[in-house]
Each structure stands twice: as C-alpha cells, then as structure tokens.
A and B are shown apart, each in its own frame.
Chain A
Amino acid sequence: MNILSKMQLATAASALLLAGAASAEPVKVGMITTLSGGGAGLGIDTRDGFELALKNAGDAAAEIELIIEDDQQKPDIAVQIADKMIQSEQVDLLTGIVWSNLAMAVVPAAVAQGKFYLSTNAAPSQLAGPGCDPNYFSVSYQNDNMHEAAGAYASQEGIASTFIMAPNYPAGKDSLTGFKRFYEGEVTDEVYTQVGQTDYAGEIAQIRNSDADAVFFFLPGGMGIAFMKQYAESGVDKPLIGPAFSFSQDILPAAGDAALGVINTANWSRDLDNDANTNFVETFQAEYGRLPSLYAAQGYDTANLLISAMGKADVSDQEAFRAALNEADFDSVRGKFSFGPNQHPIQDFYVREVVKDGDVLTNKIVSTSLTDHADAYVEQCQM
C-alpha cells in the first residue's frame, strides 16, 4: 500500500508540526474515506477539500489533528479503522465516509461511543429519521434530496413518463424513493442494477424498448461513466436526468462528450456566485491543478463547520460543542446553509447542465428546483 503509507507519513509529519504549534486542547479528527479502488476519486476529493479548508484557515485550524485512512470501499475495513481510531487513537470526531453502506456500518457505533460524526457525503435515510443522533451531523444532504430535486425538475418540465434506475443497495433505493416522492408523471419501469456493474447493455435494451419520455438514473462513480458512454453509443435518444454524482467534476473527464447536455441536480456548483465559493474554487485549482468536485466542496464545508465550532466551544464539553456545530456559523460554498432539527442541512437544490468551458467539461446552473429544502424524515427524528 504505497500511497497509504506515504499519506500516513505525511499526516504524521503534519500532526507533529501542528502539535508544536498548538497550545489549547486539540481536536483529533479521524477521516475514513475511500482512497483506493474504483471509488477512489470520490474519497481523494473529499480529503483534498477538507485539507484545503484547514490550510486556508491557517492558525484557526492549527489545533486540528487529522488522521486519514483508506477504507477501500469495504464496510468491514471501515469498521476496523473506526474501532482503531476510537479505541487506540482516541479521536474526538470522525468524518469522511463516502458510501452509505459504510456509513451504516460505522456511524451508529461511533456515536454510541460518544464520538461526533460529521458526514461529508453519505446520509442514509435511517440516520435522518428514527436513527438520528445528537452527535451525528450530515453536512452534505440527506440521500434522497438530489433525487427529490430531480423529480421536482421533471415535474416542472412537464415530462410525462420516466424510466428510473439505480443500484440495488440502500442509497439506490433511497434514490428512487426520493425521485418518486416529487415526480408527478408516470414511472414506466423501475430497474435495480448491481453495485459496481460496468456493463449496461441489458438496461439500455430495456430503455430502448420502453415508452418513457426520459430516463432518470443514479449511478455513482465508475458505474455512471460506463453507463453514459454506452448510452451515447446505443443510438437511444431519450433525455437523461440524474443527480450530480454521475456528473461530478471527478467523473466528467472520463465520461467525455457523452455527458454533454445532460441535466443533473445538485446542492453545489462550481459557478455558484458567492465569495466563499469563488475563493474555494480558485485555491483548489491552484493547490491541486484540477477543478473541485461536489465531494471536495462538501469536504471543504465540513472542515469549515468544524473550525467554526472550535472557535466557540471546547470539544471536551460535548453539550456546548454540539450547540456550536448546530449554529453552522461558517461561510458555506453553497451560499446559505443551516441545520434542520434532525441535524441535516436545509439548502437549495440547483438544476445544472453539462457544458464545455473551453476544453474542460463542467456544469452550469440553469435553474433552482427546490428552495430551502429539508428532508422527508425530519418529523420522524426524536432527539
């Protein structure tokens, strides 16, 4: 594990430097994220966004000690890392998990042991409703949100019938449920694919054969790249709608022109016009030489939320620290950001189109489909 040991070395070195500078009680943060395998791009962007926020914050972030480990997108490995971080390294707070199945394996146990968990991405419905917890905050969204926004968009556009498709795992089911919740037209087919599937010839045949007017699909990571390339080759011309995951900046170069013109919904976009976002996009590009993705933006916001809470309360005083997190007193790259009663965001969702900016494929906001949107599970949360 070449990269991993390099990173551990780097984090250990930076931890030493930080320890030298820190005087007050440091916050020990354990980041578990996916840094190898097919989903590595997502975890790398999460990490890079988070670290960039620490760098941009300068002295304000000097008391954060960050440990990063690779979960390889495997639940059992994520659980092992979490146990080690909680028991032997005694972190105060965990963050960074990209995938919902990994989050379900790690988060309930971590918060039960009195640790904070700030989600940079995964936000399964179970943790928003009855399973909500005072120490669990989702800084990203609730899993259904982007799909709800896509459903709302399809209704606003008057699309009469839609073919919907997602992988057969918790987030996939949340996705199709979310879409249907806000879609007023008819769902012609509802198809579940395998997680990690790379060949969509069979599903494309079904799409070709259906009388739907449009296709809604949720296929994160490499799955989406494969689907879009194959769809573009297939000669089927029903318009595609999806959540931002398949059109994120980490995916677009690999998807290529197959993604041009596709409509997708997101809580963030590179061209959102606010100071925090302009600064984020510029410094990210300068630091890493590429455009930031949604995952990077959410990692960046999570780190800034943490820094804002540290300025107000000590992590050892859990009650006060929780209240400080709940205030969400930071400049989000999403413009406005606040937490609902179940500690999930209330935010706007945008409709974006994939466009070419010079040589680079990227997203452009065309409209807003949901404003000040919370989630469907907030009523079920008793805290």
Chain B
Amino acid sequence: MLLVAEQALNGLQYGMMLFLMAAGLTLVFGVMGLINLAHGSLYMIGAFACASVAAATGWFSLGLLASLIAAAAAGALVEMVVIRRLYARDHLDQVLATFALILVFSEGTRWVFGSFPLYLNLPPALQGAVTLPGGLQYPLFRLVIIAVGAAVAVGLWLLITRTRLGIRIRAGEADREMIAALGVDIVGLYTIVFALGAALAGLAGALVGSIQSVQVGMGEPVLILAFVVVVIGGIGSIKGALIGALLVGMTDTLGKALLPGFFANFMAESSANAVGASLASMLIYILMAMVLILRPQGLFGARA
C-alpha cells in the first residue's frame, strides 16, 4: 500500500515537471502557431544557470532566480533574432530552424561549461526525506516540485483569465490580425509570451537539475515527452497541458512499477522484468495513440 502511495506521489511529481515544460510549449504553439524544438535547450540553460550561480554564490534561491532570468532572456533573444522571421513560414521551416538552435545551444553550453556534468547541491533545508501521514517517507524536494508545479498552474490560470496580458494572449490566439489592427503591439506580445514559456522551461530545468544531473543534452528526452503531453492535452490548452502531464506522469510511473509484477504472474521472473520494463517504456506512446484515435485534436484541443 505504501508502495502504491509512493508511486502515485512520484507520478504526480513527474507530471508536474512535465507540466512546467509543456505549458511553455503549448503557450507558444497556441498563441504564435510556432513549433519550437529548442524548448529543451531553454530547460538546459535554466539548469546550467542555476547550477553555476548556486555554486558561485552558495545560494540555491539565487540560482533559481538566475535560471528564470537566463532562460527568459535566452528565449526573448531567440525570439527577436530568429523566431520572429518564422511566423509566416510553414512548420517545416520552423522545425529546421529551431533544430539548428538545439545544436547551437548544446555546443555553446559545452564550449562554456565543458562536457562533464555539473553538480547542483540542494540547500540543507530542502534535503532529505519527510515522514508523511501514514508513515510514508518521501523526499522533501519532490514535494517542493509538486507544490511549485501546482502554484505555476494556478498562476498561469490567473494570468490568462484575470489580467490584461492574458486577454491579449487569448485574443492573439484567436485572431492575430484583428488584435494588431486594434493597436495591440503584437510583436512585443509574442516576445513576452515566448520569454514566459522559456522561463517556465528554465524553472523546470533548475528544479530537475537539482535531483538529477546537469549536463549538455539533458533537454532533449524531456522535450519529446513534453510534445507527447501537448499532443495528448490538445495544442494551445494550458488545462490540457496540466491534465495531459499528470496523465503521462502517472502512466509512466505506475506502468514501470506494476507491469513487471503483472507479467511475473505468467512467466519466469527475469524475463517478466525485462518484458515489463520494455512495455512500460512504450506505455505513454500507446496512451498517446489511443487518445489520438478517440480525439484527434487532443483532450482539450480546439483545433484538429
């Protein structure tokens, strides 16, 4: 029972991390109609900024702040220098250009920081495990990630529904010519949206970098999952990103935990482990395929 509870928390934490990635991705796609493969690089930039600032100053909170600033700045810069020229082009051009950005960011990061992974230390106050009601011990920092993810979800919802910027974002999503004609600075709006998405990715990178390792190329595997989340949730929908991320996180974690035991019921243990592990790694893609068969536009997507 404790095992299932712990795995459910793990799934929730993984889902929240994916949400931070997917929210930025779906925001940019929904508002600007842009496929940004370099989103994973912004995640990496956040992690490296956090690790280097935290190492230099000894303050993890400064590192987190730096990750937000560095990723947002990199995002804004990329939007102004490269992405701005691509809105009118088709998606293939966007894919090519943003793929090139991945290579530029990866090699640039390697050039600055080297190929060896960096070490990002958690502050003592966030280290170790806490005992939850029911006697379950759980790492404190993973609970922090869940809380941050939930706070970001609420914050984004307030931003989109309750603020002037949110109104503009929604309007830009619906009809970009019209809001430009109404005198809204659409160029500036796009830069802000892109920087906001980048900052969320950077935050995810910094948080995850502190429990995993900070290394070049760390963003790409997460990027693929973030795309899966966006596709499942529906393109452009923040709510879809949240539900999709939690669904993917839970499916992946519980699949890995339960499938080997399930196969052990009717085959030898070591082959059950290998088969279970292989199938568990496919599970989220099977989930995506099923969602797409039933709802091609995703769970909360407006467009097909």
Contacts and interface: CB of A to CB of B under 8 A. Distances in A.
**B partners with A:** yes
Interface of A: 1-3, 35-38, 40-41, 44, 168, 173, 176, 190-194, 196, 198-199, 201-203, 205-206, 208-209, 222, 225-226, 229-230, 233-236, 250-251, 253-256
A40 B115 contact: yes
Interface string B204-218: 000010011111111
Contacts of A225: 117, 212-213
A297 to B, nearest CB: 17
A2 to B, nearest CB: 5
Interface stretch (B21-29, B71-79, B161-169, B268-276): B268-276
Contacts of B119: 253-256
Contact of A37 (B118, B217, B269): B217
A254 B117 contact: yes
B122 A233 contact: yes
Given A198-B212, A206-B257, A230 B139 contact: yes
B253 A202 contact: yes
B191 interface: no
Contacts of B142: 201
| Residue among A3, A193, A229 facing the most chain B CB atoms (10 A cut-off) | A229
A226 B212 contact: yes
A235 B221 contact: no
Given A38-B216, A250-B116, A205 B277 contact: no
A208 B6 contact: yes
Given A2-B107, A233-B129, A194 B122 contact: no
Contacts of B14: 199, 201
Given A2-B107, A201-B253, A222 B139 contact: no
Contacts of B61: none
B278 A229 contact: no
Given A225-B213, A234-B137, A2 B111 contact: yes
Interface in B112-135: 115-119, 121-122, 127-129
Contacts of A194: 277, 281
Nearest to B115: A40
Contacts of B116: 40-41, 44, 250, 253-254
User: Interface centre among B7, B128, B211, B221, by most A CB within 10 Å?
Assistant: B211
Nearest to A226: B212
B213 A36 contact: no
Given A234-B137, A250-B116, A254-B118, A36 B110 contact: yes
A176 B208 CA distance: 29
B127 A190 contact: no
Contact of A192 (B107, B137, B211, B273): B273
Contact of B260 (A191, A250, A255): A191
Interface centre among B10, B14, B127, B253 (most CB of A within 10 A): B10
B105 interface: no
B39 interface: no
Contact of B2 (A190, A191, A209, A222): A209
A212 to B, nearest CB: 14
Given A201-B13, A205-B3, A233 B211 contact: yes
Contacts of B216: 36-38, 40
Contact of A205 (B6, B115, B118, B212): B6
B111 A202 contact: no
B6 to A, nearest CB: 4
B211 A230 contact: yes
A222 B6 contact: no
A235 to B, nearest CB: 3
SS class, residues of chain A in contact with chain B: helix
Contact of B115 (A1, A35, A234, A256): A35
12 contacts: A176-B270, A199-B211, A205-B6, A209-B2, A222-B212, A222-B213, A225-B117, A225-B212, A226-B213, A235-B129, A254-B117, A254-B118
B118 to A, nearest CB: 7
Contacts of B218: 38, 198
Interface string B131-152: 0000001011110000000000
Nearest to B211: A230
| Interface core residue of B2, B6, B106 (most chain A CB under 10 Å) | B6
Given A233-B139, A234-B129, A234-B137, A205 B7 contact: yes
A202 B257 contact: yes
Interface in B181-240: 208, 211-218, 221
Contacts of A35: 115
A196 B221 contact: yes
B278 A168 contact: yes
Given A198-B213, A208-B6, 10 more contacts: A38-B217, A41-B117, A44-B116, A191-B273, A199-B14, A202-B257, A205-B257, A206-B3, A225-B213, A251-B117
A45 B172 CA distance: 51
Contacts of B214: 254
A352 to B, nearest CB: 21
Nearest to B270: A190
A235 B212 CA distance: 16
Nearest to A225: B213
Nearest to B51: A254
Contacts of B260: 191-192
B213 A233 contact: no
A279 to B, nearest CB: 24
B221 A198 contact: yes
A202 to B, nearest CB: 5
B54 to A, nearest CB: 13
B128 A201 contact: no
A234 B127 CA distance: 9
A163 to B, nearest CB: 12
A306 B119 CA distance: 36
Contacts of B128: 233, 235
Given A198-B213, A201-B14, A254-B119, A3 B111 contact: yes
B260 to A, nearest CB: 7
B16 to A, nearest CB: 12
Given A226-B211, A235-B137, A193 B122 contact: no
A38 B110 contact: no
A194 B278 CA distance: 8
A160 B204 CA distance: 41
